[in-house]
Structure 1
Amino acid sequence: MQKKDMEKIYGMHYRELYLYAHSLCRNEEQAKDLTSETFYRAFVSFDMKEEKLKYWLFRVLKNLYIDEKRKKPWVLIESIEVPVEESPLTQLLKTEQRRVLFEKILLLPEEYSELLVLFYFSNFSVSEIARMKGATEPGVKMKLMRARNKLKGSLENEEKL
């Protein structure tokens, strides 16, 4: 893979992959690490057509997350002050509404938050998600509907407060 191809792929998919990684692990540093490792593996070993690249990247990231989850839990160290640099997540979620919505999505059970991020933030179709998850399209549609309903309930509960 040539350098300009790598830069193009990185630019096209970094934000979506980072958001997906963050929705899985709910930790900025781990999400950055997972995203970086995913691109490293893509640049070293990907040899399929570009149309399958996005799906492949998301599958690799999910597998890396599962491997990390099996190995060791991540521990947050909150007492260390690091100069604040605007992260990709902050850049993408600049408006308060989107930030609140994304935070509410992360509070949902993992199976629902993952589907919502894949569908709305990473622009995968229902059929692509079904292939990725090894599920049927009606099953994915049903889980998406349940995830939306849970999210709606969560947002309505916040409004009542």
Structure 2
Amino acid sequence: MLGFAREIVSYLQRSGASKAEAEDVVQDVFVKMLEADLIIPAQKMRAWMYRVSIRRYIDCYRRQKRYMEILQKEFFINNQVNPFENEDYDFLAEEVAKLPEAEAALIDLYYFQNFTIKEIAQIMSYSVSKVKIQLMRSRKKLRRNLEEKGYHNGNI
């Protein structure tokens, strides 16, 4: 079982978790397993541990992200107005929402949330080059959709 734990810690680190976060998640999974008195066949133990560890890490990431959003909203108020929050750009937000989920997420993270390519790669567990390529394709699709609706602006 310790071999599985090391393997999962390594996997979570490659997925963007720090070593401490990954170790905490795996430790929580072990505690959960002991507290629940689960009887899992040995051949299914590895898959179960991966599944629970990944879910636990995602839950921790979401809580941490929500915490940072609250901090930014309450304590780090930016007086600069984001042009996409302007009513004149509602059509843009609507068109982004019509894109497939992964493409909309990339556009949102890069343009609306101001994450870097490297940060997006860590968040989505993609390589940096995959983020760049997918972002380029998403922009082209968004541009095509906007042009079909009559919006011609070279800034997109």
TM-score of the superposed pair, with normalisation by structure 2: 0.44
Higher relative contact order (CA 8 A, sep 6+): 1
Which protein shows a greater Rg? Answer: 2
TM-score by length of 1: 0.42
